[in-house]
Amino acid sequence: MAGKSGRSINNVPESPIKKMLFSWEGILVIVFILVNIFCACFSEFYNLKSLLRQMPVYLAEVFLMLPMAYILVLGEIDISVGSIVCLCATMSCIVCNTGAPFVLVVITALVVGTLCGSVNGFILTRFQELPPMIVTLATQIIFRGIAEIILGSGGSISASNTDGFRLLAGKVGSVPYILFLVVIMAVIFAVILGKSTFGRRVYAIGTNRLTAYYSGIHVQKIRFIIYTVMGTISGLCALFIVSTSYGANTTTGNGFEMDAIAMAVFGGISSTGGKGNLAGGVISAFIIVCLRVGLGQRNVHAQVILLILGLLLIGAVALPNIIGQVKKAMKVKK
Amino acid sequence: MSEYVLELKGITKIFPGVKALNNVQFQLKPGEVHALMGENGAGKSTFIKVITGVHKAEEGEMFLNGQKVDFKGPKDAQAAGIAAVYQHPTSYPHLTVAENIFMGHEIIKNHMIQWKAMNSEANKLLKELNADFDATAEMGTLSVAQQQMVEIAKALSTNAKIIILDEPTACLTRSESEELYRIVDKLKEEGVSIIFISHRFEDMYRLASRVTVFRDSQYIGTYDVDGITNADLIKAMVGREIKDLFPKPEVKIGKEMLRVEGLSRVGYYKNVSFNVHAGEIIGLTGLVGAGRTEVVESVCGITRADEGKVYLEGKEVYVKKPSDAMEKGIILLPEDRQKEGLIMSWGLGRNVTLPTISKYAKNGICGEKEERELSKKLLEDVDTKAVDIFQPASSLSGGNQQKVVVAKALSQEMKVVIMDEPTKGVDVGAKAEIYAIMGELALKGYAIILISSEMPEILGMSDRIIVMCNGRKTGELSRGEATQEAILELAMEKGHAAGKEAAK
């Protein structure tokens, strides 16, 4: 078939550098620099060395942000991840205390996490009408409940053999392993979401699930995979949590899901689905990590840090809205 | 009193970057039904919004009964007796009919809603319209036609003297349209003036005494319906002559591609059988709700049939998901472009390649460059009026959106293409182009199933016509023997009685 009118349709994209400058990620990079300047002024101890030393505690949560970004792009939410972390941490400590080799401990955490995630995925794909918020609220209670039963009356467990966990907390020079792992995982997750067919399909589902389905996309399969991977990564996060605390208790992982969601949303990943990318998510995660380290060094109360993060988040959500209004007002004036 | 109830002069409305209306005029006589026609984007909707006070015109004057008026907002227009009924009823599905009718102007005493008074008042209005449902019915349980009736009742409840109907028949079946015609006639007798926007010539001939045509934001002319022909009108609307609205090519019918045998799904359709050959266009018609869409949805794996078999090129196929159907070469272009066909916020290119991204990918990573090349070619093939492949689908008119949906189907090797209401809400110029594309697809050997409620389109494009009624196939007509009457007879068989039952 020939275009009868011979009309030509442009297919040359605009330069990505220009796009980057005016994007949310561009703003985040500036915020990242500002936050670091602020922290350096605020705390005399704040420098690269102290940052590297103190960041592993907070970095574990950055893992959770990666699959959470996928779930948010789907237009869904998973609030059970904190409980999965708790259950995985508990189980890995138990296995560790039996004297099993550390490899087995790692496998335990990852398998338990994967199983929990697949339970979420199974329920959500088998009963598609159920809202993810409610389903994962239920599993949040269930997973933590199981962990509490296992932990028993003491409510806590410590790892008797910490050699393996010490290994995880190791460093190359002054750079902790976990930072390498976070960066590698972030690149993998970002490339899959941004460049792969899988990622494109995730965006399609998040923007218009019906159209995606009609276009032959395996909507339920993709959802199942993502929730399952969320579980696996929760297991990974649990391992690093145990490697900093050498134990688990009933409050391990409390609120982690919300931190992960906050990092992603602050990074421009809309909770309504189909918008944002992991570059933004990762930058925002590091903004939050730096801010926590910096404020923590001057013994700023944890609650105050939360308050600041909350304000930042509201700002992040409202800003595009405000920019839109200003743009509109300017257009009308013209 | 002046000769006109409503008169607009020299209206110009500017949106950032576009002149949506350029010095247009319009006169409405008392008790007149006045059709407003034009292609999509001609400025009809903007014009209506100026009349109803939603938009304020930059230039121009508006007179109501000879008095100059200046609406600050929709409330002013409502107070002046102007009401609009939109194509998709904007109702609250979980509230009752009475609540919907009186939304915003409830009958109140001491700050309490007077339910009894409101229900009886609503019933009175419904009775005037000969409605067959009660004011306490939940809005969501009504058909589109019934919901539209509620909207009209709502307009009447505000004592509207001018009612604007924006494409009221677009979602209606034939018999429902007849019902609407009757209501409009009745309103006219009561002295209500009506502005009627429609793409269907049938509506205009049946109802209107005069017709005003807009094209490219400009006023083209006002004509008496009695003295005008289809060709004149199309020329006025499109600005050029369309020689052949239905360019059905002579195609040699090939081997059988798809055969459906005894397909049944409880509650939707029963024992439906048909086949379609390569190069053949079959029309699948019947009233809305006859089960047409449901049958093809099962063929394409969107829903599952309880019984029956589907054969593709003589071999039985099992389709469980749309992806199965596409792998085998059957694709459905769904009726609802915005909800099912396209991702409206995405660029055209990504929409086109969505079903086939794996084909260009290397190791799972998208081949964006190839995608861009292919989507450009496909979009140009179907002659999409677009600037670039990155503009969002929502920026296109209905007809061009449909072309993008077709391009999407062409991005892969397909054997059977099923089009569900492909020209719904599409203007006449773009319609002709879509028919031309259908013809070319048939020439290339595709087997095509066309689902449509529009009689001229079914008659004009189909080699064979299959008529359904109440979930059953009631007849099959060849191109030669098909007439409007013959199809209607098959489509209405037992239809009326059952339709009334369903409404209860």
pLDDT in tens, A196-207: 999 999 999 999
CB contact under 8 A, B364 and A4: no
The pLDDT assigned to A6 comes to: 60
Q: How confident is the model at residue B495 (pLDDT cuts 50, 70, 90)?
A: very low
The answer to whether residue A210 neighbours chain B at the CB level (below 8 Å) is yes
- Taking an 8 Å cut-off on Cβ atoms, the answer to whether A1 and B437 are in contact is yes
Query: Is there a contact between A11 and B345 if contact means CB atoms under 8 Å apart?
Result: no
Q: Are A215 and B380 a contacting pair at CB < 8 A? A: no
Among B243, B319, B388, the strongest candidate for a mutation testing the A interface, having the largest count of A CBs within 10 A, is B388
> What is the structure's pLDDT at B273?
93
Contacts of B380 in chain A (CB under 8 A): 3, 7-9
Contact B161, B5 (CB under 8 A): yes
Is the pLDDT at B149 greater than 50? The verdict is yes
B169 touches chain A (CB under 8 A): no
Cβ-defined contact of B386 to A9 (cutoff 8 Å) = yes
Kindly state the percentage of chain B with pLDDT values over 90: 25
* pLDDT tens-digit readout, B1-45: 578 899 999 999 887 767 788 899 999 999 899 999 887 767 888
DSSP H helix total and E strand total for chain A: 15, 4
**Spatial separation of the C-alpha atoms in residues A37 and A31, rounded to whole Å:** 10
* A18 pLDDT tier (thresholds 50, 70, 90): low
Residues B314-347: pLDDT tens digits?
A: 899 999 889 889 889 999 999 888 888 999 999 9
Interface size, chain A vs chain B, as Cβ–Cβ contacts under 8 Å: 107
Predicted confidence at residue B201, as pLDDT, reads: 81
Tokens of A221: 């399969």
Confidence of residue B259 (pLDDT cuts 50, 70, 90): very high
Record: contact B323-A216, CB cut-off 8 A: yes
**B416 by DSSP, 3-state: which?**
strand
Q: Would you tell me how many other CB atoms lie within 10 Å of the CB of residue B401?
A: 24
Q: Which two tokens stand for residue A320?
A: 């595009």
User: Which of A192, A214, A218, A333 would best serve as a mutation to test chain B binding (most B beta carbons within 10 A)?
Assistant: A214
Chain A residues close to B386, C-beta within 8 Å? 9
**CB contacts, 8 Å: B388 with chain A:** 9-12
SS3 at position B279: coil
Distance between CA B425 and CA A331 in Å, rounded?
A: 31
What does the pLDDT read at residue B242?
Answer: 67
CB distance B292 to B274 below 8 Å = no
Whole-complex ipTM: 0.81
Give the length of chain A.
Answer: 334
User: Which has the higher per-residue pLDDT, A307 or B289?
Assistant: A307
pTM for the predicted model, two decimal places: 0.79
Chain B residue at shortest CA distance from A333: B16
Residue B101 host element (H or E): helix B97-101
At A198-250, the pLDDT tens digits run 999 999 999 999 999 999 899 999 999 999 999 999 999 999 999 988 899 99
Residue A198 with chain B: CB contacts under 8 Å = 364
Binary contact (B437, A198; C-beta < 8 A): no
Per DSSP, what are the bridge partners of residue B365? A196, B362
* Amino acid letter, residue B310: V
Ramachandran region of residue B214, left (φ > 0), alpha (ψ -120 to 50) or beta? Answer: beta
Beta carbons of A213 and B322 less than 8 Å apart:
yes
A213 contact B CB<8A: yes
CB-nearest to A11 from B340, B349, B384 is B349
The answer for B 343-372 residues in CB contact with A (under 8 A) is 343-346, 348-350, 354-355, 357-358, 361, 364-366, 372
* B307 contacts chain A (CB < 8 A): no
Contact B407/A at CB under 8 A: no
Find, among B18, B11, B53, B12, the residue nearest to B395 by Cα. B18
pLDDT band at B502 (very low <50, low <70, confident <90, very high): very low
Of B302, B323, B389, the CB nearest to A217: B323
B499 or B378, which is more confident? B378
Q: In the prediction, which pLDDT does B216 show?
A: 80
pLDDT tens column, B45-57? 889 989 988 888 8
In tens, the pLDDT along B391-404 reads: 888 888 788 888 99
Higher pLDDT, B273 or B286: B273
* Amino acid in position A62: V
- A220 touches B: beta carbon within 8 Å: no
pLDDT in tens, B286-322: 877 788 899 999 999 998 899 999 999 989 999 988 9
Interface test with A, best of B354, B360, B381 (most A CBs within 10 A): B354
Going by their DSSP bridges, the two strands B59-64 and B67-69 should be labelled as antiparallel
CB within 8 Å: B16 and A7: no
Predicted confidence band of residue B88 (pLDDT cuts 50, 70, 90): low
* CA–CA distances in Å: residue A302 to residues A23, A162, A249, A297, A298: 31, 28, 19, 11, 11
Read off the pLDDT band of B498 (50, 70, 90). Answer: very low
Q: What is the pLDDT of residue B499?
A: 43
Q: Residue A281 pLDDT more than 80? A: yes
Angular region, B38: left φ>0, alpha ψ -120 to 50, beta rest: left
User: Is the CB of A215 inside 8 Å of chain B's CB atoms?
Assistant: yes
Query: Is A62 touching B (CB cutoff 8 A)?
Result: no
CA geometry: angle B50, B82, B159, nearest 5 deg: 170
Q: Chain A neighbours among B 443-472 (CB < 8 Å)?
A: 444
**Rounded average pLDDT over B270-290:** 89
Asked if the C-beta of B234 comes within 8 angstroms of chain A's C-beta atoms, the answer is no
Residue of higher predicted confidence among B231 and A108: A108
Q: Dihedral through CA A208, CA A212, CA A218, CA A224, nearest 10?
A: -10
User: Of B467, B465, B469, nearest to B494 (Cα)?
Assistant: B469
User: To the nearest whole angstrom, how far is the Cα of B374 from the nearest Cα of chain A?
Assistant: 10
Q: In this structure, are residues A179 and A115 in contact, taking their beta carbons and an 8 Å threshold?
A: no
A246 vs chain B: nearest CA distance in angstroms?
Answer: 39
What are residue B24's phi and psi, to 5 degrees?
A: -95, 155
pLDDT in the model for residue A332 = 63
Inspect the interface and report whether the beta carbons of B382 and A1 lie closer than 8 Å: yes
Q: A315: which 2 tokens? A: 């700002």
pLDDT digits (tens, 9 = 90+) for B404-442: 999 988 888 889 999 998 888 787 788 888 899 899 899
Q: Which of B142, B7, B351 is nearest to A207 (CA)?
A: B351
Judge contact between B393 and B351, C-beta under 8 A: yes
Q: Is A216 on the interface with B (CB under 8 A)?
A: yes
CB contact under 8 A, B357 and A201: yes
DSSP E strand stretches across B29-159: 33-37, 59-64, 67-69, 82-85, 108-109, 112-113
Asked if pLDDT for residue A106 goes beyond 90, the answer is yes
Taking every pair of Cα atoms in chain A, the longest distance, rounded to a whole number of angstroms, is: 79
Give the model's pLDDT for residue A333.
59
Q: Convert the pLDDT of each residue in B339-380 to its tens digit.
A: 889 999 999 999 999 988 888 888 888 888 888 989 998 898
Structure token pair of residue B362: 């290397």
**pLDDT score recorded for residue A19:** 67
- CB-based contact A211 B323, cutoff 8 Å: no
Question: CA torsion sign, B93 to B97 to B103 to B106?
Answer: negative
> Which residues of chain B does A4 touch, with a Cβ-Cβ cutoff of 8 Å?
383
- The answer to whether residue B383 neighbours chain A at the CB level (below 8 Å) is yes
For B403, name the nearest residue in chain A, comparing CA atoms only.
Answer: A3
The residue type of A187 is V
Amino acid at position B277, single letter: H
Rounded Cα gap, residues B86 and B102, in angstroms:
17
Burial of B246 (0-12, 13-18, 19+ CB in 10 A): middle
Is the minimum CB–CB distance between B499 and chain A shorter than 8 Å?
no
What percent of chain A stands above pLDDT 70? 94
Average pLDDT taken over every residue of chain B:
86
Contact B194, B183 (CB under 8 A): no
Confidence of residue B92 (pLDDT cuts 50, 70, 90): confident
Closest partner residue to A3 (CB to CB) among B344, B358, B380 is B380
How far is A62 from A67, CA to CA, in rounded Å? Answer: 10
Taking the Cβ of residue A196 and every Cβ of chain B, the question of whether any pair is shorter than 8 Å is answered with: yes
The string of pLDDT tens digits covering residues A57-89 is 899 999 999 999 999 999 999 999 999 999 999
Q: CA–CA separation, A175 vs A52, rounded Å?
A: 6
DSSP tally for chain B: helices H, then strands E: 18, 22
CB neighbours of residue B326 within 10 Å: 23
